[in-house]
Structure 1
């Protein structure tokens, strides 16, 4: 049995978005003796379709795709290949019998990040460094802002982007991200939430070199600069891809949109095993309380990503 994986960007080795999926696929590979065929999908529909077509030529009938750029236009493509099941990460595409579309509650996880950063900052100034200004990045920002507000502290948010439009290059320029982060730290920011894929690695390096803190994203990046990464907002794409892939292999999958959030461990903060000694007394308890309020709906997130 073969499973294809069309990763976003130029590299599968990003310590972030793509590598998290690889963890889930490796687990499937070990348990079911499947062969995983990776392909570079870039960030455009044309590149994604080209990568998928190369897998179809090899008669791959289960394909995982990271980041589908154009929504329901992909659905039209899927209808031409109904003998193939597609598992799409970070997508909201419904109504197609051969598409499993996985949406992650970025806002929920980012709300926890915002509160933690606001409670931990010593300068009263925290940063958000996004890859670009596309809606999914703004979704992280909206949750982050609400977490800072929830903290009850008067904290300034400095908002920057690796690319100031929707250019996909913002996800793959760690050198520029490093330079921007150093400037943010020089300006009084002491914690940066980096939502930038591979570019985030440059922010982690900046935090380590300047003696400040950073929050990683997608995978658990705490080990990349022990003690400099305060926490990571982990998207459990490994769990989602494993569970949905297993259902497909067993022939009992359900198509449509699936939501992975706080209550089913789809998103959440890392264990902070290298930074726990930095956490102020009472903060972890307050984070647990906020998590419960988010799950119960007592704290409602603003859906706006303006």
Structure 2
């Protein structure tokens, strides 16, 4: 286990229990359990890591960090973090939920935070995102940019959370035109689906052969293969979680950002101030938890008219005038 410390995030091997003094008087440092795919996946995990590093740079604080290498490590890693004194222990990804349900009651004096799923325990804070809302907006952008009338989606592991992305995307595309064709494929049914860029590229080429000229990837490391294949074929892609526009400047239409970095940064900050509370926090369009990214890398791809249309839809979603269906509520999607 490594400890990230000081303004430049340099690594130092000091005892975890020597951490900073929190506002409530106890001495502890946060712990971050990075999910499968690694902290440099250019997506979900890396966004979380960046949030932790921003906290380090702004506060001079320190935190413990470990990366999962396989499924079997989930429970052992959580317990080890808690037993070594990390508080709070932040775990990333929905796949940790069932394990945390078992582990959290055994450490009642440790605060746990899970990002991307709800765990109902008195010492757990659950942070979830309105991915369907952000995906609706990029679905609109895809349909507005498409010249073929066919857009597509590639998910990682075939689970309800990823269908939540796909369904929101399809609803947004159909809002532009009911005639828009939306192709949806998932990479697989096991955790390896998150880190299979070769399969992602194969699926992308298949979708292109069916007429897609804009593809949205919500697939972790697999998405890197999707974006590469799209760039190679000179069609547009849409990134996810982190801003991935820079990966292929002029080829990535936008990215549906989930501010996992803010979730981690705010968690560490709240813990340091003694203000971390259990319960559920939803990060959506109204609190900038999700959104679409604009920068110099995609400025020439997105017209002012497209931005205006999407911003109008965003305002209507926030106001409740547009309701985006959440796939996870009933396992159905009205758009397909």
Normalising by structure 2, report the TM-score.
0.85
Which residue matches 1:145? 170
Which residue matches 2:146? 121
Which residue matches 1:188? 211
User: 2: distance between equivalents of 1:272 and 1:195?
Assistant: 20
Which residue matches 1:67? 93
**1:115: how far off?**
0.9
CA 1:68/1:123 → structure 2, altered by over 3 Å: closer, same or farther? closer
Please show how residues 290-301 of structure 1 align to structure 2 within 5 Å.
290-301=313-324
Where does structure 1 differ by over 4 angstroms across 4 or more consecutive aligned residues? none
User: 2: distance between equivalents of 1:141 and 1:154?
Assistant: 17
What is the aligned counterpart of 1:170 among 193, 199, 207?
Answer: 193
**1:254: how far off?**
1.8
The runs of 5 or more residues in structure 1 that have no matched partner are none
Q: Would the aligned equivalents of 1:27 and 1:242 in 2 still touch at CA under 8 Å?
A: yes
CA 1:86/1:43 → structure 2, altered by over 3 Å: closer, same or farther? farther
Q: Between Structure 1 and Structure 2, how many residues are aligned?
A: 302
Q: Would the aligned equivalents of 2:37 and 2:221 in 1 still touch at CA under 8 Å?
A: no
Asked whether 1:285 is paired with 2:312, we answer no
Asked whether 1:198 is paired with 2:259, we answer no
Please, what is the CA RMSD of the aligned residues? 1.7
What is the aligned counterpart of 1:247 among 257, 262, 270?
Answer: 270
**1:276: how far off?**
2.2
Q: Would the aligned equivalents of 2:254 and 2:294 in 1 still touch at CA under 8 Å?
A: yes
Please show how residues 1-306 of structure 1 align to structure 2 within 5 Å.
1=19, 2-41=29-68, 44=71, 46-69=72-95, 71=97, 74-94=100-120, 96-163=121-188, 165=189, 167-280=190-303, 282-304=305-327, 305-306=331-332
The farther-off stretch of 255-264 and 22-31 is 22-31
Q: Would the aligned equivalents of 2:79 and 2:103 in 1 still touch at CA under 8 Å?
A: no
CA 1:148/1:68 → structure 2, altered by over 3 Å: closer, same or farther? closer
User: 2: distance between equivalents of 1:272 and 1:27?
Assistant: 20
- Structure of greater Rg: 2
